[in-house]
Amino acid sequence: MSHLHDDADGPGPEDAQVVLKLYELRREEVMRASRDTLIRWTPKSYADLAAITQFDHEHNAAFRQVSSYFEMAYGLARRGAAHPELVVEWCGEGILLFAKIHPYLAEFREKASPTAFRNAEWVTENTEAGAARLKMFLDRFKTK
């Protein structure tokens, strides 16, 4: 694994400070509004994902803010700046967004951004909490 914590390491005080700061940032007014917008956004096709990435889309700013926020948060976990399992426990909402775009990710990477959502993907493949949350969200979407 590429993070600094080995599997025997639990989160420490520094990890707690990181996730508390992430929580504080999520509470910012514009961020809250952007998160609310994306909670309600449900892409039905690759075209829906491609559309929201266009600057003239009404929800583009919200998409950029929320997706980049969670990519940065998960990047901290991936690079060892915070305990990966703890980050996922406290920032699981980003996996909801990842699950929404997951069916279209390969096409999005091929056509638009080869490195898109690589940190969200990493936490879903390298943490128990991330894998479980992704499965839960994908299963939930199948039943709708």
Running DSSP on this structure, what letter comes out for residue 11? Answer: P
d(CA 69, CA 91): 10
Q: What is the pLDDT along the chain (144 residues), one digit of tens a residue?
A: 344 555 457 888 888 888 888 888 989 999 999 999 999 999 999 999 999 999 999 999 999 999 999 999 999 999 999 999 999 999 999 999 999 999 999 999 999 999 999 999 999 999 999 999 999 999 999 876
Of 52, 72, 60, the C-alpha closest to 34 is 60
List pLDDT tens digits, range 33-71. 999 999 999 999 999 999 999 999 999 999 999 999 999
| Domains in the chain: boundaries | 13-142
Are the C-beta atoms of residues 23 and 90 closer than 8 Å to each other?
yes
DSSP-assigned states of every residue in 69-110: HHHHHHHHHHTTSS-HHHHHHH-THHHHHHHHHGGGHHHHHH
